Structure 1
């Protein structure tokens, strides 16, 4: 016999669908937003796939740093695949009701993407720390087996931890089905629960510590030690540290700011802000990295930039030659 929780409210029901209420009438701008998002998505796919192929097909880039980058770019493709097609469809629709099964699937992918992103950035900071602070022992400390573990750990933990989150959230009985966002999110669903969610909140705190706080501690400690070595070292050492660490620090800062805005919107009432601004800040959390990382790493890292330039030039010349022969 099931015991009724003292926190349960009336009219509770398992959700079969959710209504996304943050969409607003775009009017004649609908197609403008549609084509802009479509072009952004195509840019995300092209840039990330290009860099993954460049790293995978060039043996000179089969180093731990580039392997972490490859994992990062794959994660960008993974996370954006759950957002862009969804947004494109809903921009063109007047009905914004989402089946519960798809909603939880989207939450699983997006939360997994965010968790994996933070953990990969932490692993990358450790790799840079070893390369700069212990260059003579780099090959030993960053062996193939350890690199493989550091690459697989973020994905394994992200899939398992978010899976537990979804299993807890999907079993809730809800007193409503309206989510004030343009995509499904876990915390707004938890706020709809008809009874106490202490266990879910505890799990959320633990997961946040493991996926956000602990990686930040790793990043802070490693870069503190890198700065100490650079401060005492030669100019050449400082220049090497800047060249390899600047893109990573920019990526960490970009994603941290986006995550901060996302947390603010979830935990505090932002109804006084314009709806367009709230939608932009919410999307920035999921758009920033897939667009930003390929650009910053592709431009700053010389090896990747030169190989990409040579590859694109070869493709362009081949296309021109094919066109000339066809005439």
Structure 2
């Protein structure tokens, strides 16, 4: 048996590929990560640079993109490094990676809840919208949407610090707290209590989001004008929410109840999909669907292309 004093390095066992497969996977992953960075940064810059987009809906969307970048930083650099070298991680690094990925996921839920509330007020209480969604209140909402996930996941991670481990192999391509719990010789009760509290807390978020959209849909059915607004502004939110929910649920359910008999490739995909699909899908959906945002992005691209052409002609 190993204890916490000798388990200084943990091995990620989900990367058993040949050298050629690792190189191919590295190139594909690097390309995908650069695309994620590009589409999210473009959306963030477009929103920040245009005062006409300094509205609650776009502010929440900007924070959703920033949170996506935060979460992917916790996974992609380490994953790319593992593809080129030994796939080990320090105990402290494992805890940090789990904290970043968990807090980013919870941050997504918090921001999606804010976006659902914003659409509820905009479509169901339009006359009171500006009185409800004031700059001060939006700032507080955004601050809490970052603070609460970070605090909840810090408390969860803190309960695992110094825990005695009876193993050093993690059957995954990245670290999460649940894997540390499975390696623990005696899982701490405090971790179970905090974990269940966090799950109930964010399940409440999910119920709120679902209830908000059900109410919005019921209100919008009776008005053609509101149906148009719903399709323009709420549909991207719903697509983003459904994509994120399915990806996270598949990962959680597979991690808890998945079979050990499936192939390693399938297991890796199930554990990585919420880090692959939503960070790319969200900015693309919003960029194409929201008219004001799409026009701003196109204007930025046009300015960049025009500047490049003038530079070439002046040579």
Question: How far apart in 2 are the matches of 1:102 and 1:20?
Answer: 12
Question: How far apart in 2 are the matches of 1:161 and 1:317?
Answer: 47
* Higher mean displacement: 234-243 or 108-117: 234-243
Alignment of 1:109-258 (within 5 A): 109-211=100-202, 213-232=203-222, 234-258=223-247
Question: How far apart in 2 are the matches of 1:275 and 1:187?
Answer: 19
Question: How far apart in 1 are the matches of 2:78 and 2:93?
Answer: 10
Question: How far apart in 2 are the matches of 1:225 and 1:131?
Answer: 12
**Residue number among 272, 297, 300 corresponding to 1:308 in the alignment:** 297
Check conservation: 2:13, 2:169, Cα contact below 8 A.
Answer: yes
* Higher mean displacement: 155-164 or 19-28: 19-28
Deviations along 1:176-222, whole A, 9 cap, x unmatched? 111000111110110111114332112101011212x0111111111
Please name the residue that 1:5 is paired with.
none
Measured after TM superposition, the shift of residue 57 of structure 1 is 0.8
Check conservation: 1:270, 1:278, Cα contact below 8 A.
Answer: no
* Higher mean displacement: 161-170 or 116-125: 161-170
Check conservation: 1:115, 1:158, Cα contact below 8 A.
Answer: yes
Measured after TM superposition, the shift of residue 159 of structure 1 is 1.1
Within the alignment, does 1:263 sit opposite 2:252 as a pair?
yes
Which structure 2 residue ranges, 5 or more long, are not aligned?
none
Please name the residue that 2:12 is paired with.
20
Measured after TM superposition, the shift of residue 154 of structure 1 is 1.5
**Residue number among 79, 82, 90 corresponding to 1:90 in the alignment:** 82
Which structure 1 residue ranges, 5 or more long, are not aligned?
1-9
Check conservation: 2:170, 2:179, Cα contact below 8 A.
Answer: yes
Q: Quick one: structure 1 residues 146 and 178, their matched pair in 2 at CA, closer, same or farther if it must change by over 3 Å? A: same
Question: How far apart in 2 are the matches of 1:115 and 1:314?
Answer: 37
Aligned residues: 314
- What secondary structure sits across from 2:89 in the alignment? strand
Measured after TM superposition, the shift of residue 30 of structure 1 is 2.2
> Structure 1 segments of 4 or more deviating over 4 A?
none
Please name the residue that 2:268 is paired with.
279
Deviations along 1:87-122, whole A, 9 cap, x unmatched? 1111112x2111111111111111110010001000
Q: RMSD in angstroms over aligned alpha carbons?
A: 1.2
TM score, norm. by length of structure 2: 0.97
Check conservation: 1:247, 1:296, Cα contact below 8 A.
Answer: yes
Question: How far apart in 1 are the matches of 2:18 and 2:204?
Answer: 41
Check conservation: 1:112, 1:158, Cα contact below 8 A.
Answer: yes
Please name the residue that 1:80 is paired with.
72
Please name the residue that 1:323 is paired with.
312
Within the alignment, does 1:57 sit opposite 2:46 as a pair?
no
Within the alignment, does 1:104 sit opposite 2:95 as a pair?
yes
- What secondary structure sits across from 1:66 in the alignment? helix
Deviations along 1:257-294, whole A, 9 cap, x unmatched? 11111112221142121110110111102122211111
Please name the residue that 2:60 is paired with.
68
Measured after TM superposition, the shift of residue 137 of structure 1 is 0.3
